[in-house]
Amino acid sequence: MAADRAAFRAERVQALPATVMESSGGGKTMPLDRPAAWYASSEARHVADVIVSYQTPAGGWSKNMARDGAQRQPGQPYVAGHTSKAPDSVPWDWVGTFDNDATITEMRFLARVASQAPGAEGEVYRASFLRGLQYTLGAQYPNGGWPQIYPLQGGYHDAITYNDDAMVNIATLLSAIAAGQDDYAFVPPARRSQAAEAERRAVAYILATQVSIAGSLTAWSQQYDPITLRPVGARNFEPDALSSAESSGLLVYLMQIERPTPQIMAAIEAGVKWLQATAITGHAWQKTPQGRALVEQPGAPLLWARYISLETGKPVFGDRDLTLHDDVREISAERRDGYAWYGSYSQKALTAYQKWQNSGVRSGNRPT
C-alpha cells in the first residue's frame, strides 16, 4: 500500500484540477460474451486500453468503474469517488479489489483482446494481464483464501471472502489459466503451474471451511477470519451465518472439477442436502404496500433465506445498528426493502447437481 501511494504521489508533479470519478456498473462496459472477432475491433481495443491505464501499481483494479470512457491520466484517481486533489489525504481504500467481479473481469477482457492480437500490438495487454495474475497470486493467503481488498486495508475487508462469488471467480479463472488453452495460451508454463497450485490450495481451503454442525457438514458463510477460519460478519447487517447464495456458488464450482476427490464429492453431497433442507416452498418475496414481505404463493419457485443462523438453523436478519432478528418484519424499512433477504439463487446449484449426478462422476464413470 505504501508503494502504491508513493507511485500515485509521484504522478502529482503538477497541479491537476480536482476530479472525482463517477461510480458506475463497470462490468457492463467489459462484455465477455461477444463473438471472438469483436475483441479485435477498435471498440474492444479502446476498452482494453482504458483497463490498462487504470491498473494500480500493485497490479489490480478497483470496482464500479466504467472502462469505455477516457483513459486515466497521471495523477487521476484509480477509484470512483476518490479525488485527485491532495494525494496524501486521499482515503486509500478499494485501490485493488476482487469485490463486484473487479480485477477478474478486467483480466478476462484483456485476455480476450490479447487472443485477437497475437503480434506486437497485443503485448501491452498480455503484460497487463500477467501483472494482474501476479497481483492475484500475491494476494492469496498462505491458507488458500483471498481477502476482498488487496493490499490489505483492515476491517472485514481482510476476511477471506466468498461474498458475491469473489473467491469462486478467482479460482475459476486460475483453472482456465492452468489449462493454458484458448484465451490463456500465451501464459508462460511457469505461471500456469503457479495458477494450478493456487487453485489447489483454494479448493483445500473451501473444503476446510465448510461448516460442520453436530458432526454433519452443512454449508458456508460469506466471510471467514483468515487466522481462525471461523465465520465472521461483514457489514453491520451481514452476520456470521450460513449463506445460501454463496454456498450455491461454491457448490457449482466444486461440481465443475473434472476429477473430484472423495472429500470434494462428500462436500457437494452435504451442501446440496443442506440446500434441499432449507428451501422454502409456496412463498414469494414480494413488494407490498407495507414494503417487501414473504407472502404465500402456491406453486412459487423454491426460495431461500440469504442467511441461516449457525445457532438456531433458522433464517436470521441483520440491521444497520448491528441487531439481529429472526423475523424480517422487525428490521428497518430501509434494510428490509434494500437487501436480497430471500431469493431463488440456490436453484442453480440444484440444477447443476442433477447434471453432476447424471455425469457418472460419483460412480467413477465420468468421461475425461
| Per-residue model confidence as pLDDT tens digits over 199-238 | 999 999 999 999 999 999 999 999 999 999 999 999 999 9
Q: What is the CATH number of the domain that holds 52?
A: 1.50.10.20
Catalytic residue among 34, 235, 320, 329: 235
Give the model's pLDDT for residue 25. 74
Number of domains in the chain: 2
Q: Which of 100, 192, 292, 306 is catalytic?
A: 100
Residues 25, 133 within the same domain: yes
Domain end position, chosen among 209, 230, 258: 209
Pairwise CA distance, residues 329 & 343, whole Å: 16
Query: Using CA atoms, how far apart are residues 193 and 77, in angstroms rounded to an integer?
Result: 34
Kindly state whether residues 161 and 12 are assigned to the same domain: yes
Q: Does the predicted TM-score (pTM) go above 0.85?
A: yes
* DSSP-based three-state secondary structure for 293: strand
127 lies in the same domain as 222: no
Domain identity same for 106 and 221: no
The answer as to whether 368 is a domain residue is no
Range of the domain at 308: 211-359
Gap between the Cα atoms of 200 and 296, Å rounded: 44
Decide: helix, strand or coil at residue 58: coil
Of 276, 272, 292, the C-alpha closest to 342 is: 292
Q: Are residues 94 and 144 in the same domain?
A: yes
Same domain, yes or no, for 101 and 226? no
In this structure, what are the phi and psi dihedrals at residue 319, rounded to the nearest 5 degrees?
Answer: -125, 170
Contact 160, 179 (CB under 8 A): no
* Amino acid type, 316: V
Domain boundary among 148, 177, 209: 209
- Residue 72 CA to residue 74 CA, distance in Å, equals 7
Q: What is the pLDDT of residue 84?
A: 62
Active site (annotated) includes residue 235: yes
Q: How confident is the model at residue 353 (pLDDT cuts 50, 70, 90)?
A: very high
Q: What is the pLDDT of residues 128-143, one digit of tens each?
A: 999 999 999 999 999 9
- In the residue annotation, 365 being an active-site residue is answered as no
pLDDT single digits (tens) 246-273: 999 999 999 999 999 999 999 999 999 9
Are 351 and 233 contained in the same domain?
Answer: yes
Q: Are residues 226 and 150 in the same domain?
A: no
Instruction: For residues 44 and 144, state if they share a domain.
Output: yes
Statement to judge: residues 69 and 195 lie in one domain: yes
157 shares a domain with 240: no
Residues 137-191: pLDDT tens digits? 999 999 999 999 999 999 999 999 999 999 999 999 999 999 998 999 999 999 9
Domain boundary pick from 209, 231, 265: 209
Give 366's pLDDT tier (boundaries 50, 70, 90): very low
Helix or strand holding residue 335 (H, E): helix 333-337
In tens, the pLDDT along 290-328 reads: 899 999 999 999 999 999 999 999 999 999 999 999 999
Mapping DSSP to helix (H, G, I), strand (E, B) and coil, where does residue 228 land? coil
